Chains A and B, each alone.
Chain A
Amino acid sequence: MSLIEINDLSVEFHTGEDSVKAVSHASFDIKEGETFGLIGESGSGKSVIGLAILRLLPTNAEVSGNIFFQGQDIFSIKPSELRKIRGKHIALMPQNPAGSLNPVLKNGLQIKEVYEERGIDKKEGIKKALKLMEKLLLKDPEKLLDLYPHQLSGGMRQRLIACMSLSFEPELLIADEPTKGLDPEAKAGAVDLFTKIKKEYGKTMLLITHDLDLALEVCDRIAVMYAGEIVELDEASKVLSEPLHPYTRGLIRAHPRNGLVPLIGQSPSRIRLPEGCFFHERCKNSGFECSRQHPEMKTHNGGWIRCHFQSLQ
């Protein structure tokens, strides 16, 4: 059963005279217990989808489409109801763990606050927090509670944020770029962390990332985003080992391990998107149809792809 369903979601930001099309007609669902990955380069609209789910977009955003969480339409519920969902049923692990913790409060106090909000008394809260911290591979949790966030490494801060996000036992966890800027050791740690959250807690997760290794290790299914739209959606291992869309192929070839071959050109302006396929100016296989007609999502071999030539590839 689907825990969350996103139907034809579009987000536009109005900035003075222009409007920026951040997300165009995105549709997907996440099943209970599934880890769903959104991959693509910066500015492709991945994080905007994450924020739209929690209705945390700025006021200049125009949103259309629906998001159903446990059958409830997120866009039509009252703000007071929404507050009961945010953090409690859907938790967000934001980008940049350093900026998400209060620098002048000790870690213990910050984590205690979360349990207080849940109505659990201090002693009990700390006990639960320590247990969770131990489970999430934090060494010496008691010592950590007495330190300030700046005294922790990037990887440790991320685990602390994970503990806070999981303390309400949410049904859905959204993790936004959890490995950005981490060194390889901490990245490997993040893979362990998310595998643990997935296997031991059985959490449903939306993992927003451009880290292809993390996506392959942890995700069940993946949607690849380019210029605000989903261009390919399938099982993670299929997308990453036998990519169909020319953009996904380019992304994989750009990985240092696969040759560090850059995609030609740059992403299109989101104020004036090109006619036809948004990727056609950078695509080697581009044909007559590609510059004229925008491709729709079509099923292909059990997955979905937005390309005129998928059958030839």
Chain B
Amino acid sequence: MSLPVLAVNELAMKFGNSEVFKNVSFSVEAGETFGLFGKSGSGKTTIGRCIVGLEKPTYGKILVQGKDILRMGKKEFRELRPKVQMIFQHPETSLDPRMKAFENLIEPLKLHSGLKKNALLERGEELAELTGLRPEHLARYPSHLSGGEIQRIVLARIMSLSPAFVVADEPTSMLDVSVQAQILRLMQKLQKETGVSYLLISHDLEVLRRVCHRIAYLEDGTITSVENIKRGINT
């Protein structure tokens, strides 16, 4: 059997004397959407931030494609970095406000792909089309885009790096019901086309039940159960 894309083992986090979560273990397979459900303040976001290396847990292992990111050198982690991406809850703070949408979109490609100018622009346009962005969106600054449009740019940016794994932290909680459906369906389409895995963090059980293959319930700082959802990806 192939290795899971992500395996979290006995993760624990303490801020001062208060223990946010402990003994958190789960794994996510390739092409899977794994839901993490919990109330506000239950530590869901902190778990997500640990997985992409934005926080250091007090204890535990985080294995990405079999390698422990907490015990690897800086250089090795930097090489792995494009493979593990995150979508943040607040769209308005996800992009650089001084750059137009298209510049924001191609920035990761500039840093990581080594593509020359024309190829870079072409790839950027392809990604914009893939995520349903119109040319007029690309010429605007983030302050002139709606939450849904910004989440499309965030998705295009992320997909430009061909990640194996994306932590999506409440990606639609600030969006309206109709835009929420568009963004979640777009995430499913991208998963089908690229095989990317998602850890979908949410306090909305109806959303998780609709799009996830499995859901882990985080209660009182630990995972109390994992539910298999039969319907899965494309229903």
Contact = CB atoms under 8 A, between A and B. Distances in A.
Interface in A122-138: none
B72 interface: no
- Most A CB contacts (10 A, CB to CB) among B136, B175, B177, B207 go to B177
Contacts, number: 68
B40 interface: yes
Interface in B174-225: 174-182, 184-185, 203-207, 209-211
B174 A251 contact: no
Contacts of A153: 40-41
Contact of A210 (B173, B176, B182, B203): B176
A254 B177 contact: yes
Interface string B144-186: 0011100000000000000000000000011111111110110
Interface residues of A, number: 27
B39 interface: yes
Contacts of A259: 210
Given A41-B179, A256-B210, A180 B185 contact: no
Interface in A163-194: 180-181, 183-186
Contacts of B210: 256, 259-260
A159 B129 CA distance: 43
A310 interface: no
A43 interface: yes
B204 A184 contact: yes
Contact of A263 (B41, B178, B211): B178
Given A184-B203, A184-B204, A260 B181 contact: yes
Contacts of B41: 153
B184 A260 contact: yes
B173 A181 contact: yes
A249 to B, nearest CB: 11
Interface string B119-152: 0000000000000101010000000001110000
A58 B173 CA distance: 28
A261 interface: yes
B176 A262 contact: no
B203 A250 contact: no
Contacts of A257: 206
A248 B121 CA distance: 39
B38 to A, nearest CB: 9
A181 B180 CA distance: 13
A109 interface: no
A42 B184 contact: no
A125 to B, nearest CB: 31
A41 B39 contact: no
B205 A184 contact: yes
Nearest to B182: A262
A269 interface: yes
Given A43-B146, A260-B210, A254 B40 contact: no
A256 B207 contact: yes
B205 A181 contact: no
Contact of B185 (A211, A255, A260): A260
Contacts of A181: 173-174
A142 B180 CA distance: 39
Interface string A236-279: 00000000000000110011110111110010010000000000
Given A185-B39, A260-B185, A212 B177 contact: yes
B180 A254 contact: yes
A21 B39 CA distance: 39
A154 interface: yes
Among B40, B178, B181, B185, which residue has the most Cβ atoms of chain A within 10 A?
B178
Nearest to B144: A15
B184 to A, nearest CB: 6
Contacts of B211: 260
Nearest to B178: A254
A154 B177 CA distance: 20
Contacts of B206: 255-257
Given A256-B204, A260-B184, A263-B181, 7 more contacts: A180-B174, A184-B205, A254-B181, A255-B177, A256-B207, A260-B185, A263-B178
6 contacts: A41-B179, A154-B40, A254-B180, A254-B182, A256-B209, A263-B181
